[in-house]
Structure 1
Amino acid sequence: MANTYLHPGERAAEDPIRLLAIRDTPLSVDEVFRAVGDDAAGGTALFVGTVRDHDRGSDVAALGYTGHPSAEAELRKVAEKVVADFPVRALAAVHRVGDLAVGDLAVVVAVSCAHRGEAFEACRRLIDDLKERVPIWKQQKFTDGTEEWVGA
């Protein structure tokens, strides 16, 4: 469905927050990208966070994410603030919880706007605020047998 063009500060009649989820199943970049499709969007910015094989000089074997019961509500607050601050056509964010392996997708966020600059800025704010405010904690397991909690 096509929406009319939004001028800065205007909001679409349809809720631009199209997909928000905290999941214990594998994430899909395609699902998130499709969720932010909009005929009036000239720019779509997408960020994919993956489990890397190292952190601060140590080799990572695996990690797990644990979310607080309020995580989805906090994710909605973050999304609503991004929508209030930017001329967002559509927004989507999903974060994985549970045990993940190196290479797995941990988070996928996307924002579409009329212009690319707005999309980049809004997507950057979305991922930064998600990481800062949404109560999801990471437990890293290193190949030397040590473990570390991040964000707890």
Structure 2
Amino acid sequence: MKKTLFLASVLLILSCSSDDNGDNNQFLPPSSVNYQINLNLPQFNKLKFPSNHFVDISENGSIKGVIIYNIDNTQYSAFELSDPNHSPSSCSAQTIDGITSTCNCDDGNSYNIVTGQQTSGDGQFGLRRYSVRREGNTLFISN
């Protein structure tokens, strides 16, 4: 009985998997985003106020850039700027209007930049989320 219980426990543990790499999007290549934004700099002033966004297209490790949205000064969202439902191309960077990001290709894809969920168009993937942490006047963005 003890052997059977031990064997069942070992099989159960080995069958568990980690969700550390939950991004199985075949359209977007892997990216390594890890940088800081100093909110004291004038170009990031909009991010000091809730309901404002900033699109960072600098060399930050993303594919097309990062959309950063200030939810309430303590919570921020950050997402990949490239449309997650087709391969990166000349038109796959999105345009932001309010809390909606829209793909510039003719596919009709749009997304909510607070939640990352797709709001129109076809596709199975939401926006690729990046982690945002605020410490004082610095935002740390990573994946």
Give the alignment's TM-score, normalised by structure 2.
Answer: 0.25
> Taking CA–CA contacts closer than 8 Å with sequence separation of 6 or more, which of the two structures ends up with the larger relative contact order?
1
Give the alignment's TM-score, normalised by structure 1.
Answer: 0.24
Question: Structure 1 or 2: larger strand share?
Answer: 1
